[in-house]
């Protein structure tokens, strides 16, 4: 079984366990963040001078293990991210990435830029949950969803004020694009093997539909790579391990931004 199939199998069991405890109607009624306006990642990516960086908070990965222990407070990292990032990505999967929904809600209340819930969405219920815990944006991974599911989930997300990123890894998955999607992310990491190649983004950028801001994900570890991707047409750059592997992730992020020239849009 490849890594993605293993993650999705576990995610289905997780949803089956927790879904009966809080239905969508309860999220709509009791979820605090259902009552306030969401922040737009699209707008932040397109702002003149935006770094375009979506800085990620994650404690571990299936392929590399733990970067930081559970004792690391999300506030220690995302406060620094909030100064210059276009958005913040928070891993909420616990079993494989060491995250949880508390990280998401804490990030939302101490920042003022858009927050992406990074997880493996397989059920509309998770989208309602994301809204209730403070997400502004959700990720929809083409590799584990049908075209119909992407359209349904993106449409529902939009109806409750959330933006959506369709994550693809190859040209075939571009067929999952639909009007309801807000942005398209190209994951340079193969989720089946977790191997990384920056060529993936460069090969797919010209095929992404106009009007859908493009985001390069994974494997970005230096400023020159961002410049290359920006010149190719990318508006966003999701970076996590580059910062989280350092002793002080917030400081690593700030040093990275210093070396990044302003957007030439």
Q: Is 171 a catalytic residue?
A: no
pLDDT bin (cut points 50, 70, 90) of residue 261 is low
Tally of domains in the chain: 1
What is the average pLDDT across 167-180? 95
**CATH assignment of the domain containing 146:** 3.20.20.70
Catalytically annotated residue among 50, 187, 188, 201: 187
pLDDT bin (cut points 50, 70, 90) of residue 263 is very low
Q: Is 241 a catalytic residue?
A: no
Domain residue limits at 124: 3-258
Q: How many residues does the chain have?
A: 265
Catalytically annotated residue among 11, 14, 56, 188: 56
Catalytically annotated residue among 14, 129, 163, 167: 167
Catalytically annotated residue among 50, 182, 188, 218: 218
Q: Is 172 a catalytic residue?
A: no
263 falls within a domain: no
Q: Is 61 a catalytic residue?
A: no
265 falls within a domain: no
Tokens 């990030």 correspond to what residue?
107
224 falls within a domain: yes
pLDDT in tens, 192-239: 776 777 889 999 999 999 999 999 998 899 999 999 999 999 999 999
127 falls within a domain: yes
Eight-class DSSP state of 189? B
Is the per-residue pLDDT at 264 higher than 70? no
What is the average pLDDT across 257-264? 70
Query: What does the pLDDT read at residue 62?
Result: 83
* CA nearest to 5, candidates 218, 138, 193: 193
Q: Is 254 a catalytic residue?
A: no
Q: Is 65 helix (H, G, I), strand (E, B) or coil?
A: strand
35 falls within a domain: yes
Contact indicator for 16, 123 with CB cutoff of 8 Å:
no
What is the average pLDDT across 53-69? 88
pLDDT in tens, 113-161: 999 999 999 999 999 999 999 999 999 999 999 999 999 999 999 999 9
93 falls within a domain: yes
264 falls within a domain: no
Q: What is the DSSP string of 89-131?
A: EEE--STTT---HHHHHHHHHH--S-EEEES---SHHHHHHHH
Q: Is 155 a catalytic residue?
A: no
Catalytically annotated residue among 61, 217, 235, 241: 217
Q: Which residue has the higher pLDDT, 45 or 67?
A: 45
Q: Is 64 a catalytic residue?
A: no
- The pTM of the full predicted model, rounded to 2 decimals, is 0.93
Tokens in use for 13?
């069991």
Query: What does the pLDDT read at residue 265?
Result: 46
Q: Which residue has the higher pLDDT, 191 or 59?
A: 59
246 falls within a domain: yes
Query: What does the pLDDT read at residue 30?
Result: 81
Catalytically annotated residue among 58, 131, 151, 212: 58
């Amino acid at each position: 079984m490849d890594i993605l199939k293993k993650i999705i199998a576990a995610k289905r069991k997780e949803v089956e366990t927790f879904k009966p405890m809080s239905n969508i109607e309860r999220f709509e009624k009791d979820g605090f963040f259902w009552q306030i306006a969401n922040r737009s990642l699209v707008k932040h990516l397109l702002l003149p001078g935006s770094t375009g960086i979506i800085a990620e908070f994650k404690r571990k990965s299936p392929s590399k293990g733990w970067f930081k222990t559970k004792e690391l407070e999300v506030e220690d990292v995302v406060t620094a991210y909030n100064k210059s990032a276009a958005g913040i990505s928070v891993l909420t999967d616990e079993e494989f990435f060491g995250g949880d929904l508390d990280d998401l809600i804490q990030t939302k209340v101490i920042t003022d830029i858009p927050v992406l819930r990074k997880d493996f969405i397989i059920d509309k219920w998770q989208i309602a949950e994301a809204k209730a815990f403070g997400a502004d944006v959700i990720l929809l991974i083409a590799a584990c969803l049908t075209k119909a599911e992407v359209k349904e989930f993106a449409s529902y997300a939009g109806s409750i004020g959330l933006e959506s990123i369709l994550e693809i890894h190859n040209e075939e998955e571009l067929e999952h694009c639909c009007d309801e999607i807000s942005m398209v992310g190209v994951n340079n990491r193969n989720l089946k093997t977790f191997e990384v190649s920056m060529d993936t983004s460069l090969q797919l950028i010209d095929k992404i539909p106009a009007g859908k801001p493009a985001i390069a994900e994974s494997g970005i570890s230096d400023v020159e790579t961002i410049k290359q991707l920006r010149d190719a047409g990318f508006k966003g750059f999701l970076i996590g391990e580059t910062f989280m592997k350092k002793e002080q992730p917030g400081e690593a992020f700030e040093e990275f931004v210093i070396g990044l020239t302003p957007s030439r849009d």
